[in-house]
A and B are shown apart, each in its own frame.
Chain A
Amino acid sequence: MPPREGTYGLLAEFDTPSDLVRAAQKARLDGWRRLDCYTPYPVEEAAEAIGFHRNKVPLVTLIGGLMGLVAMFSLETWVSTLAYPLNIAGRPTYSWPAFIIPAYEWTILWAGLSAAFGMLALNGLPSPYHPLFNAPNFRAGALDDKFFLCLEALDPKFDLLDTRAYLETLAPVSVVEVEY
């Protein structure tokens, strides 16, 4: 992330997931697009509320799995027929039923690694620094028992004073400014 200065956004704190979902739905309907919710556990309704419906993790996993499958099956075929053919009890060198098992394991191995590391990459993790960690109340509650809505300064509608007043209408516990 390039170094930035100024305001990252305004962070509203809520006590319950229902308050957060209601606020997020309202903000989305009122035209906010650069916004995010922060919750201590997955809240599907909050993701729906900010318009995040699908992600690319399944695609990454599928591609990884297929690559594992093709890689191991071709390796086995090449090794057994060309590189190092062995006569095992007179069986054909291309004994594909036996090759299925390592190929199956590698499908799972690479699909699983793609799912895990693809998820992290799509999330932009690891990212040890994030401006939100500067907010005084964020680290005290975001992964414990508090629910946050952040309207980001990159949104064209963002204006420090107006947006703060807007967030106050959503009945949060508090609204704080987050700096880079």
Chain B
Amino acid sequence: MATSELKPGNPDHGRWIDPATGEFRVLEPGQTFKSVTAKISDIVLTPHTPLGWFALFGIGGAVATFLLTAVTWLFLKGTGIWAVTQPVAWGFAIINFVWWIGIGHAGTLISAILLLFKQGWRNSINRFAEAMTIFAVVCAGMFPLIHVGRPWLGYWLLPYPNSMTVWPQFRSPLLWDVFAVSTYATISVVFWYIGMVPDFGTMRDRAKTPIAQYFYGLISLGWRGSVRHWMRYETASLLLAGLATPLVLSVHTVISFDFAVATLPGWHTTIFPPYFVAGAIYSGFAMVLTLAIPLRKFYHLEALVTERHIDNMGKVMLATGLIVAYGYGMEVFMAWYSASHWEYFMMWNRMFGPMGWSYGVLIFCNIAFPLTTLWVRKLRTNIGFMFLISIVVNTGMWFERFVIVVTSLYRDYLPSSWGTYRATKWDFMTYIGTLGLFTALFLLFVRFLPMIPMNEIKMMLPGAKIKPKEAVAGESH
């Protein structure tokens, strides 16, 4: 139907339409088992590293040194070098924590929820989306740890028998965070690694150099593709997906409890859990696009990560963006409907107070711009436009957390205690540094691990269909 409008001038576009469904194809036609293996594993096994990789890795590493510097100074001087003080006692650290964790959620959504819903198109993007999750959680987890003041005592958060005979307080949302985030990090790593084990087997068998053979041989655990193993593997993958689905929903719910359990206007609201989860997926899909678009171009993966993927991700962003818009609307509505003076003032101050500009940025980046344009299929399949949208939404989602944290705190019940918030250079260096760390880690992943799951792509190829007429019943000899 509308798919035929995709590239009207292109005589080639007919073969992109699947005649069975009339939909745009997930993979470019003409792929074979061999071509998929070669395409994906050669990116890793080639002895030739592209110069662009070195350039980007250098930039990422250089930016990551900001983080190193800022954190070193923080450990020497304490959290006083940040802008956090009264009344804004939570600043960049918590904003960045929530933002990074949220980005990670799309990876789990793609790998777990879309697997349960049998969305085959996810197979092309789930591996690097999961990698994105893990590196985002690495960046996120750092912020609460460095924010506790004495990070070398961070293990006090865990319940363990100690000579002080002191135990954690299990009624605190901040302790719930410890369990939610540590579980999320562990399960994400396990899911990601288990998913790669068969592909490591392929890499082990194709590797030419002894070091690569040894390395991939070690991490492939001796995978040999027995169908008995495959069946247990499939069961375990489905179970992990089934477990990761409630997990991913619970993690951002628990994070929203950090705010919602407090009795502060702007935080104390029951809409927070669903609205945080939707926002997380919204920003996460934006980040997947930010990574996928340059990656498919750079490594010529257009046959495997097609416009169908970009289009579908645009649709998911549209849906979650609308949930986020509903969340914003409901917050404003409840501020009026609750007839609470404090709620009303908080919302007025958030929109028109001295920091009202941040609310404007948020509405433009998350609602006004993406939710008007993402309806149009032509724009959803326009690669450049989608890249732009992904950056805009990521910016907007960062501002959402900024608005929630700062504009709720800086003018509370007592005008005499009002203040403001001005982030210091150390705040900015820490934040920008994590972007560099994320980039560097992601580039290492792209260079050394298969970024698209070969075995899952092969399941989708036409050659994988078992032809029924050849069943044993028809055999005579």
Contacts and interface: CB of A to CB of B under 8 A. Distances in A.
Interface in A5-46: 16-19, 21-22, 25-26, 29, 36-46
Contacts of A70: none
B199 to A, nearest CB: 8
Interface in A31-73: 36-47, 50, 52, 55, 57-58, 61, 65, 72
Interface in B1-57: 32-34, 37
B37 A145 contact: yes
B222 interface: yes
Given A38-B225, A40-B202, A102-B170, A144 B240 contact: no
Nearest to B455: A41
A115 B243 contact: yes
Interface stretch (B159-167, B319-327, B383-391, B438-446): B159-167
Given A47-B231, A58-B235, A143-B202, A41 B459 contact: yes
B466 A17 contact: yes
Interface residues of B, number: 72
A20 to B, nearest CB: 9
Given A88-B169, A119-B235, A145-B34, A109 B227 contact: no
A25 B467 CA distance: 14
A142 B180 CA distance: 40
Contacts of A144: 33-34, 37, 202, 205-206
Interface stretch (B81-89, B184-192, B364-372): B184-192
Given A76-B170, A79-B168, A102-B179, A119 B194 contact: yes
A156 interface: no
Contacts of A113: 186-187, 190
Given A106-B183, A108-B243, A41 B458 contact: yes
Nearest to A148: B225
Given A42-B459, A108-B183, A133 B224 contact: yes
B432 interface: no
| A contacts with B: majority SS | helix
A56 to B, nearest CB: 8
A101 B226 CA distance: 39
B234 to A, nearest CB: 5
Contact of B232 (A46, A57, A127, A139): A57
A98 interface: yes
A143 B231 contact: no
Q: Which of B205, B221, B466 has the most CB of A within 10 A?
A: B466
B225 A40 contact: yes
A52 B231 contact: yes
B472 A143 contact: no
A43 B37 contact: no
Contact of A57 (B37, B176, B236): B236
B475 A26 contact: yes
Contacts of B467: 18
B21 to A, nearest CB: 22
Contacts of B187: 108-109, 112-113
B205 A140 contact: yes
Contacts of A119: 194, 232-233, 235-236
Q: Which of A18, A38, A40, A80 has the most CB of B within 10 A?
A: A40
Nearest to B231: A47
A111 interface: yes
A173 interface: no
B169 A126 contact: no
B227 A36 contact: yes
A37 B227 contact: yes
Contacts of B183: 105-106, 108-109
B33 A40 contact: yes
Interface in A87-115: 88, 91, 95, 98-99, 101-102, 104-106, 108-109, 111-113, 115
B37 A55 contact: no
A125 to B, nearest CB: 5
Given A40-B202, A140-B205, A143-B198, A108 B246 contact: yes
Interface string A116-151: 101110110111111011000011101111000000
Contacts of A42: 227, 230-231, 233-234, 455, 459
B396 interface: no
Contacts of B246: 108
B284 interface: no
Nearest to A110: B183
Nearest to B169: A86
Interface in B202-257: 202, 205-206, 217-218, 221-236, 239-240, 243-244, 246-247, 250, 254, 257
7 contacts: A41-B454, A42-B455, A108-B246, A116-B193, A142-B205, A145-B33, A145-B34
Given A105-B180, A120-B194, 7 more contacts: A22-B475, A36-B227, A37-B227, A55-B232, A80-B170, A112-B243, A142-B225
